[in-house]
Amino acid sequence: MKMNIIRISWASLLALLLGGCAVFQPSARNEKAYADSLGEFRLYDEAQVPHITAWWLSFNDPQLNDLMTEALAQNLSLQQARARLRQAWLVAEKQASARRISAEASAGAGVSEERRETEEGSTNISAENYSLGLAAAYELDLWGRLASLDKAAELDAKASEADRNIMAGTVASEVALTYFNILWQRETLDIINDQLETARKNLELMELRFRNSQATALDVLQRRESVAQIEAMIPPARANEESLILQLSILLGKTPTDSVKVKGRRLPPLPPQPDAGLPADLLARRPDVLRAGLRLRSADWTLSAARADRLPSIRLSASAKYASSDTSALFDNWIASLAASLTGPILDGGRRRAEVQRVREVVAERLAAYRETVISAVGEIQEVMIRESGQTEYLKALERQLAASLATREEALERYKKGQENYLTVLSAENGAQQVQRQISLAAHDRLAHRVKLYRALGGDWNAILDETSSTNERKNHE
């Protein structure tokens, strides 16, 4: 009867050891309670990230496509993000090595001399020693501590990949915005130059009317003032264009002296608005949401490791050592050992318990961060779509205002020719129409900027996009 009790105890212990690996894994917890803690914020499914092509292709601008390909390959901030990603995967590889057998080899050689006193006198005795050793060690991961740390490091590396993708999205949006700013600045300059040419012609006509006593000196001075006002707009606009080209060069990883050659002077038309998709699609393709979810899962696995660290661990070791004073007989004298050690915490001043509580708070923090990221992501998309819609209505209103301003200018000019109005009324109507023309150009630019922000907010499959742009850049370098 006593023997049966002992057998049952050993069987129970063996079952505990074999099943201990899954005791602290997140998947073995109360999943309903964990899901309830997330509420409406479900973690995304990594296997269902939708593929979204490069959004800038929708503008149908070959130069913009070339700039994007170059920026995503050469931008220095993105290169730093790539380097950090490689470091993160190497850290994960380093952590994974703790679950493998480690082996070390050692070799040594030495000469010793000993002076001995005898009846015949003193004598020196020399000896040569040679050794060769091999040692191996392996820790049994009974409670899944090492496996949990391995999984946490892997998730951290994936979070670093999401960091790189966030940087790629930032670079892409900055390149597009800077490029559109350059085109808008040039378009504005063309509008100003056209207005200046018209104003100068009107000044010549006004001076001719003054010489024919059909206009007053005040009319001429007011027209000259209008020309000077338009001329004053040109130097800042040109300086802004040059500054934007320098910014674009830096985004492409070029020195400021190696400026980019940008063609084109008109903003592209606005492409059709993309489909935002379902909220689940949004969670799967936003790199910041992916990062927040990965960090939450990493903290969960780190908590598993901290809990397992409070239990004993078993470490196996084996060694073989060869030693001799003669190299030819080195392998004749050897010692081999095989050992297993069981270590466990008894008194640590509460250090391990405090670490478990600390990591629990990290999990709580990252859960809140994940919820905040989801809320911000949904809110950002809604805000950008509202702004773009409002900008479209604003642009339509400006076009109606321009038509009214042009009609007002023509009427004021006719009344001036008939002597029914002074020239200041004509100038006021003309300046109003010119200002609305410039406002329309700015409104069209702002609407494009909102679209770029919308594309950025929607996210995408940046792994596929970066691979595609990298291949395109390599092909261009070979050509």
For the segment 412-457, what is each residue's pLDDT rounded down to a tens digit?
888 887 777 787 888 888 888 889 999 999 999 999 999 999 999 8
- Rounded CA separation 467/151 (Å): 26
Position 221 in a domain: yes
Position 232 in a domain: yes
User: Average pLDDT, stretch 274-281?
Assistant: 65
User: Average pLDDT, stretch 170-178?
Assistant: 95
User: Average pLDDT, stretch 138-152?
Assistant: 85
Position 362 in a domain: yes
Give the total number of structural domains in the chain.
1
Q: What is the rounded average pLDDT for all residues in the chain?
A: 81
pLDDT at 230 over 80: yes
Position 343 in a domain: no
User: Average pLDDT, stretch 124-132?
Assistant: 68
The top-scoring range by mean pLDDT among 66-70, 283-287, 326-330 is 66-70
pLDDT at 20 over 60: no
User: Average pLDDT, stretch 450-469?
Assistant: 86
The first and second tokens of residue 382, run together, are 């809604």
pLDDT tens across 356-407, in order? 899 999 999 999 999 899 888 888 888 999 999 999 999 999 999 999 999 9
User: Average pLDDT, stretch 198-210?
Assistant: 86
Residue 28: DSSP 8-state: G
Residue 325: DSSP 8-state: S
Question: What does each C-alpha distance from 148 to 138, 235, 261 come to in angstroms?
Answer: 17, 62, 52
CB atoms closer than 10 angstroms to residue 70: 20
- For the entire predicted model, the pTM comes to 0.81
pLDDT at 189 over 90: yes
Position 416 in a domain: yes
The pLDDT assigned to 14 comes to 45
pLDDT at 275 over 60: yes
The first and second tokens of residue 159, run together, are 């979070």
Query: Where in the sequence is the domain holding 48, given as residue range(s)?
Result: 23-102+143-311+351-478
Q: CATH no. for residue 384? A: 1.20.1600.10
The first and second tokens of residue 141, run together, are 């991961």
Q: What percent of the chain has pLDDT over 90?
A: 37
Q: Give the range among 34-38, 117-121, 304-308, 339-343 with minimum mean pLDDT.
A: 34-38
Q: Band of the pLDDT at 205, cuts 50, 70, 90?
A: confident
- Rounded CA separation 78/178 (Å): 17
CB atoms closer than 10 angstroms to residue 372: 12
- Rounded CA separation 99/142 (Å): 11
CB atoms closer than 10 angstroms to residue 176: 25
Position 9 in a domain: no
User: Average pLDDT, stretch 269-285?
Assistant: 74
User: Average pLDDT, stretch 447-471?
Assistant: 86
- Rounded CA separation 127/125 (Å): 7
- Rounded CA separation 363/300 (Å): 6
Q: Band of the pLDDT at 325, cuts 50, 70, 90?
A: low
Position 332 in a domain: no
Position 107 in a domain: no
